[in-house]
Each structure stands twice: as structure tokens, then as C-alpha cells.
Amino acid sequence: MLFLFSVVGVDSQGLNVLYPGPEPMKGSILMQATRIDRKFEQTRAENRAAFVSFVMAGDPDEATADAILAGLPAAGADVIELGMPFSDPMADGVAIQLAGQRALAAGMTLEKTLAMVARFRKQDDQTPIVLMGYYNPIYIYGVERFVEEAVNVGVDGLIVVDLPAEEDAELCLPALKAGLNFIRLTTPTTDNHRLETVLNNTSGFVYYVSMTGITGAEIKNRAAVGEAVQRIKSHTQLPVAVGFGIKTPEDAALIGKYADGVVVGSALVSAVETSLIEGKASANTASDVHKLVEALSQGAKRARS
């Protein structure tokens, strides 16, 4: 391991920093290095982008979702984002909305999502898992209960799309204090002034949304994405992962040239959908997702070769 702690906070210029090392900083939250930190250190040492896969918990049913989740690391996923199904998403395109609806119809809940992570951890103690979704289910569940149980089952980080930096006391700070990374989104409309606010208390990595709009759309200007990644990197030492609009190995290879991580979600949940027979999982559902992850991850890995 290359470092012992991540220090999350603001420096003398008001910018968020991640220091590799145990040196504390006034006003910061001191965290032990997480699986996310260690994974990005590994991929950085290997001179490649991490491949980050998004799948929906409970899609299309709990048993098949377990099988999909269990096979992601062997297929090439470095980091796993596990969606928390919610009935009223605000940033999801059609594919991920439908995945959430399938999961909810099959009886998936936040409690069952945490149980999925617990089962996964019985066989894999290395691959980082980030829960991604919206604040309403967490609020209803209870923040203190959610954070405690997430830590206990082996969750590493959270992405909560609709909880802005101004509301850090709601969930972000309790999560950080418990040892969970809190990953925030930046977008093409996040200017430098707003970026300072967004980066404050962000840890693990920064998620750059490659476009304005919803998941599943197409990236129209890849050069602009590269410029945006460099701008974000000038404000933080955190890794920057890029998501939204990455659908093919070629897309992954292009984005992986300058991003620290390549995030794919809509293509994977679409693979679940196309594998279904009369709305139910087929014998090929899990393997279809794993084959696509393998192809996409290879695209990300060859980006700098």
C-alpha cells in the first residue's frame, strides 16, 4: 500500500485536496485509506484508467442481480457502482429508469441492496463498491442507520445525485466520519467558483458527467471532455472518472486516455434488458453483462498503450 490515510478538506487557497500520507490538516477529516483509494493507486501505477461499472441492485431479480454483481470483478470491473432503485430519479435516462422499475417490481429495497453487498463481501474483500442513487430512500431509512449498516456490510463510498454540497451535514459529513468516501458529480456547467464548493469534502474520486442531460445520451465532443478533466485536475489531487455516454470499447479507449476512470452504466443495464425473455431473466442474462464488461474494460485498459 502506498499510503495510509486520505485527508479530505480545504487547503489555504480554499481548494479540496487529497494528501497521500498520514499528515493531518487543520479543519480536515482524517480517513483511513479505503478500497477506492487503493484501487486508483493500483491503476495509476499500472498506467491505465480504472473501469467503473454501474449495475442496478435487484435487476431483473435479486438472484440474477447477485450473479451479475459476483462476476463483475473477474470480467474486468475495477470499481462497482451499485444502483439503489428509486421510483423518481432525476438524472437517469430511459435504460436506467427501466432497470430501477424492474428492480422495484421484483421487490428490491434499500435493506436488500445492503444485503447484496454483504453477500458479495463474503467472496470479494478487494473490489470497491459505491452505492449510487438518490437521497429520499436513505432519508426514509434513516441516515444514522444507513451509514452504520453500509459500513458494516462493506460499502466503500456513496454517490447521492440530488444532495448538493450545501447540505453536507445531512449525509456527507456523517458518511466521511464513518469512513465512507463521498463522491460528487461535476458537469460541463460547473465553473471554477462552483467547482471549489463541489470539491469540498469530496473523497475517493470526482465523477465528471461528460454532458448536460441524462444518462445514455451520446458524447458529442470528446476533446471538450479531456479539457474538462484537466481543468478539474488543476483543482484537486483526487482521481477523475468520466461517465455518461460511454457505450463501446472505442468510447472507453478514447475517454481512458485522459480520465483516471471510465464509468459505464446504461450500456450494461441495457444488456440486462435485451437478455430478458418475457420480462424475466434468461440463462444468458448475467453472462451477457459480463461479456460486455470484459470488452469495455479492455477498451479502457488499452487507452494508453
Say if CB 252 and CB 30 are below 8 A apart: no
Catalytic, 11? Answer: no
92 has catalytic annotation: yes
Cell 447521492 identifies what position? 160
Q: Residues near 122 by Cβ (< 8 Å), separated by ≥ 6?
A: none
Q: Extract the C-alpha cell encoding 110.
A: 434499500
- Rounded CA-CA distance 54/241 in Å is 13
Cα diameter, the chain: 59
What residue type is assigned to position 200 of the chain? N
Distance between CA atoms of residues 293 and 13, nearest Å:
40
Q: Which of 37, 61, 62, 81 is catalytic?
A: 81
Total H helices, total E strands in the chain: 12, 12
* Chain Cα centroid distance, residue 77: 11
What type of residue sits at position 196?
E
Residue 262: φ, ψ to 5°: -120, 120
- In angstroms, the CA 135 to CA 160 distance is 6
User: Which listed residue (62, 92, 156, 260) is catalytic?
Assistant: 92
* Phi and psi angles of residue 90, each rounded to the nearest 5 degrees, phi first: -110, -15
What stretch of H or E contains 290? helix 285-301
**Cβ neighbours of residue 158 under 8 Å, at least 6 residues apart?**
130, 131, 132, 150, 171, 175, 180, 181, 182, 183
- Kindly write down the DSSP assignment for every residue of 177-208, as one continuous string: HHT-EE--EE-TT--HHHHHHHHTT--S-EEE
Catalytic residues: 81, 92
